[in-house]
Amino acid sequence: MNRYKSAAWPLALLYTALVVYASLYPFTGWRDVGVAPWAYLRAPLPQYWTRFDVGANLAGYAPLGFLLTLAMMHRHRDWRAPALATLCAAALSFVMEALQTYLPMRVPSNVDFGLNAAGGLIGAVVAFVLERWGAIDRWRRARARWFVRNSRGALVLLALWPVGLLFPAPVAFGMGQVFERLEEALAELLDGTPFLGWLPVRDLELQPLLPGQEAFCVALGALVPCLLGYTVIRHRGRRALFAVLALLAGIAVTALSAGLSYGPVNAWSWVNAPVQLGLWGALIGAAVALALPGRVIVALLMVVLAAQVVVLNTAPQNAYFALTLQSWEQGRFIHFHGLARWVGWLWPYAAFVYLIARIGGSDGGQPVAQVPLAALPMPAPPARPSAPATDAPGESAPRIDA
């Protein structure tokens, strides 16, 4: 049966990871204060609250209720889907608030629990209403027209790509710069042990990227989502429209990240001459690749990802960028967008793993070996020789020995 696998379940699981990260960060200082983890339910209401806290708790769980409802509608098309999604969101909120009892930097709150459950209910109701209005079915039909059958993995990666861009990058569209941080983390972990001398460290001193290298890195990073979309889109016109929309979305999200990091005044300060040249290069590369088949696009994308990661990780982090990361990681902004940091670090490598899994499949992601044998043309059996006619009705045909 030619059914499209829903991307709602993977996105719901990833969003659950974001909620857990935001609720339990920084994961240190666990202690037992002698209070039951559910005692916050009977605690008096907090005296101080802000509209930001109310909106953050409502908006934080609304996407979770929305995604869980969409995922459950594949089995329950009635009211049970939003009801189960709301219960799951409320149960997750209850567990997160209970675990905050053991964290010194977090304060469990019954108001937060109620707002989180209400946010999950709002998201579930919105998904259920959209399903009743036929919007979800229209999306499924549009997906069937635009994308190949096994496109769930690529769609999940494409949905996560703007999330990774929210985390400040040393170069525009440059995700995956982790080698220097891994070296520092391993050195700190092995400090004082005899294994520190065995740590493989790059001997060459990292040099800042030249303008040409920066433009090249920007072009590769902006070209990656276009090529990833091409692997699951066959129509040339739809590929072209998708590439333009992907580049516009990347530019908008990068401007949003710069505005959140450096202030609204500097939202477009990252658009310098190398970045503009790189964006034009990505647009030209996307236009050249329009007519390539899916298998060639997969191989080309792997080369582009590897080249971008190598170029980006051969450049150091400047002091101004490191200061920005420090303010990001120590402020309250990280509590709500902590997953963006991990997506920004790991997205290129997850995409590379996905592409390796696609190598054994056809353009649509369906392995050629899975074609049923009944669909293959079978040669017709040879005709059996007919017996010669006899003159007398009682005579039998002569026997032919093999």
Angstrom distance (rounded) from CA 282 to CA 286: 6
Angstrom distance (rounded) from CA 218 to CA 266: 19
Write the DSSP string, 170-181: SSTT-----HHH
pLDDT band at 133 (very low <50, low <70, confident <90, very high): confident
For 312, residues 6+ apart whose C-beta sits below 8 A from its C-beta are 170, 171, 174, 176, 177, 217
Q: Which of 148-157, 218-227, 361-370 has the lowest mean pLDDT?
A: 361-370
How far are the Cα atoms of 179, 182, 308 from residue 315, in angstroms, in the given order?
Answer: 10, 14, 11
pLDDT band at 388 (very low <50, low <70, confident <90, very high): very low
> What value does the mean pLDDT of the chain take?
77
What tens digit of pLDDT does each residue of 342-374 get?
A: 788 889 999 999 998 888 654 444 443 333 434
State the pLDDT at residue 379.
43
- Only one residue has tokens 């002569």, namely 398
**Residues 108, 100 contacting (CB under 8 angstroms):** yes
Helix axes 152-166, 333-358, angle to 10 degrees: 140
Q: Hey, what are 94's tokens?
A: 């209850």
**Residues 262, 198 contacting (CB under 8 angstroms):** no
Please determine, for residue 389, whether its predicted confidence score (pLDDT) is greater than 60. Answer: no
What tens digit of pLDDT does each residue of 225-282 get?
A: 999 999 999 889 999 999 999 999 999 999 988 887 777 787 888 889 999 999 999 9
**Highest averaged pLDDT of the listed ranges 4-18, 49-63, 108-122, 282-296:** 282-296
State the pLDDT at residue 191.
66
Please determine, for residue 288, whether its predicted confidence score (pLDDT) is greater than 90. Answer: yes
Percentage with pLDDT > 90 across the chain: 23
Please determine, for residue 98, whether its predicted confidence score (pLDDT) is greater than 70. Answer: yes
Domain ranges of the chain: 1-146, 147-363
Q: Hey, what are 63's tokens?
A: 């996407």
How far are the Cα atoms of 154, 161, 287, 299, 330 from residue 225, in angstroms, in the given order?
Answer: 9, 8, 13, 14, 30
**Highest averaged pLDDT of the listed ranges 55-69, 162-176, 190-204, 215-229:** 215-229
| Of residues 43 and 281, more confidently modeled | 281
Q: Rounded to the nearest 5 degrees, what angle is found at the Cα of 209, between the Cα atoms of 206 and 212?
A: 150
Q: Which of 19-33, 230-244, 378-392 has the lowest mean pLDDT?
A: 378-392
Please determine, for residue 101, whether its predicted confidence score (pLDDT) is greater than 80. Answer: yes
Percentage with pLDDT > 70 across the chain: 73
pTM recorded for the entire structure = 0.68
CA dihedral 55, 58, 60, 64 (to 10 degrees): -160
Please determine, for residue 187, whether its predicted confidence score (pLDDT) is greater than 80. Answer: no
Q: Which of 60-64, 163-167, 185-189 has the lowest mean pLDDT?
A: 185-189
pLDDT band at 301 (very low <50, low <70, confident <90, very high): very high
Angstrom distance (rounded) from CA 33 to CA 341: 32
| Of residues 339 and 15, more confidently modeled | 15
State the pLDDT at residue 227.
95
pLDDT band at 184 (very low <50, low <70, confident <90, very high): low
Angstrom distance (rounded) from CA 252 to CA 152: 24
Short-list 88, 107, 85, CA closest to 98 = 107
Q: For residue 293, give the amino acid letter.
A: P
Mean pLDDT over 79-103 rounds to 89
CA dihedral 99, 101, 106, 111 (to 10 degrees): 90
Angstrom distance (rounded) from CA 352 to CA 355: 5
| Of residues 162 and 77, more confidently modeled | 162
